[in-house]
Amino acid sequence: MRYLLMIAGSEEPTEEQLAIGCGGWSDDLLERGILVGGGGLHPPATATTVRVRDGEVLLSDGPFAETKDQIGGYAVLECADLDEAVDHASRHPAASYGTIRSPPAPRLSRIPERNPMPSIVDRNEQRYVGYRATVAFDGMADVAHRIAAIIGALAERGLQPACAPFLRYRVLGTDMQTVTVEAGVPVAEPVDLGDEYFNDALPAGKYAQATHHGSPDGLFAATADLLAWGEKEEVRWDRTIEADGEHWAARLEIYRTDPRAEPDPANWDTDLCFRLAD
């Protein structure tokens, strides 16, 4: 359990108190892996207090409470229980002239990371074994499940994927009613997996690439962001517009995270790679 030590003392510490500081207390706990965070605060007079009343934001200078003791610093400790936290707190030099409060500090839930900006990358040709189908968008899951089937069929032959599997969007139908999409697993050499499957190669060339970190539910928004970025940067996608919809040379979702190793979708990484026109 983590405990937050709120270190309080008189608003104007004496020169002796300032000279003592932590007195080696933090160095010892840091070396032992108990102190995981902390720091000192500027004097309360430099603080800005924020309140909202009736929808109006009210700001005032100085500390919120007119009390003798003000928080001058904090430390976050990793302890087995409250007794251990109290023992460490009692050894802090400030405990002899101020007060130290030590409430438990539950770990924060994971904060989603900001996805990096897209970049232009060079990709080599990549052989793969694939499965192709034309489905409505609500049938995409059935195609995606073929990735596991292909990986299983390769394993039966003593083969492993050459790199991360992907979905390759070939045709986005008119009015986005249907999509022709492939489930692909990269291989070093062509492999015969039966009539349902085929061998092909992703074309070499320059691709716009963006990485989505998080659940696949966010891929629609991530794709929209990549397309908007492409429009702003005036890139030319390798696609043609025909009567039945948009035909893409290589519009990929590459699944970098193995769900067997990381079952939490919030921690998955997916690369969006769209080929640029030559």
pLDDT of residue 251: 97
97 lies in the same domain as 205: no
pLDDT of residue 16: 62
Tokens of 124: 């080599």
Give the structural domain span for 24: 2-101
Q: Is 77 left (phi over 0), alpha (psi -120 to 50) or beta?
A: beta
Q: Which 3 state secondary structure label does DSSP give 172?
A: strand
Question: What's the mean pLDDT when you consider all of the chain?
Answer: 83
211 lies in the same domain as 160: yes
131 lies in the same domain as 223: yes
pLDDT of residue 18: 56
Tokens of 154: 């390769």
Q: Is residue 74 part of a domain?
A: yes
Q: Under a CB-based contact definition with an 8 Å cutoff, are residues 136 and 124 in contact?
A: no
pTM exceeds 0.95, yes or no: no
135 lies in the same domain as 69: no
Q: Is residue 157 part of a domain?
A: yes
Q: Is residue 106 part of a domain?
A: no
Of 101, 130, 156, which residue constitutes the final position of a domain?
101
97 lies in the same domain as 125: no
| Measured distance CA(211)–CA(80) in Å, rounded | 38
pLDDT of residue 111: 45
| Measured distance CA(198)–CA(192) in Å, rounded | 8
135 lies in the same domain as 225: yes
147 lies in the same domain as 205: yes
Q: Is residue 270 part of a domain?
A: yes
Q: How many distinct structural domains can be found in the chain?
A: 2
| Measured distance CA(212)–CA(195) in Å, rounded | 34
| Measured distance CA(124)–CA(8) in Å, rounded | 61
Of 101, 127, 154, which residue constitutes the final position of a domain?
101
Q: Is residue 136 part of a domain?
A: yes
173 lies in the same domain as 271: yes
| Measured distance CA(158)–CA(127) in Å, rounded | 18
Assign residue 191 the CATH number of its domain.
Answer: 3.20.80.10
Distance of CA 255 to the CA centre of its chain: 14
Per residue of the chain (278 residues), give pLDDT as tens. Answer: 777 777 776 555 566 655 555 657 777 777 777 777 766 666 666 666 767 777 776 666 665 555 556 676 777 878 788 888 788 878 887 777 667 676 666 654 444 455 578 999 999 999 999 999 999 988 899 999 999 999 999 999 999 999 999 999 999 998 778 999 999 999 999 999 999 999 999 999 999 999 999 999 899 999 999 999 999 999 999 999 999 999 999 999 999 999 888 988 988 999 999 999 99
Tokens of 105: 């500090």
- Positive or negative CA dihedral for 232, 233, 237, 242? positive
Q: Is residue 230 part of a domain?
A: yes
- Our CA dihedral for 8, 13, 15, 18, rounded to 10 degrees, sits at 30
| Measured distance CA(119)–CA(248) in Å, rounded | 19
Tokens of 256: 């970098």
| Measured distance CA(223)–CA(138) in Å, rounded | 17
Q: Is residue 110 part of a domain?
A: no
20 closest CA partner among 100, 92, 101, 74: 92
Beta strands per DSSP E along the chain: 2-10, 35-40, 48-53, 56-61, 69-78, 99-101, 119-123, 126-136, 166-173, 178-186, 198-202, 205-213, 239-242, 245-255, 269-275
125 lies in the same domain as 254: yes
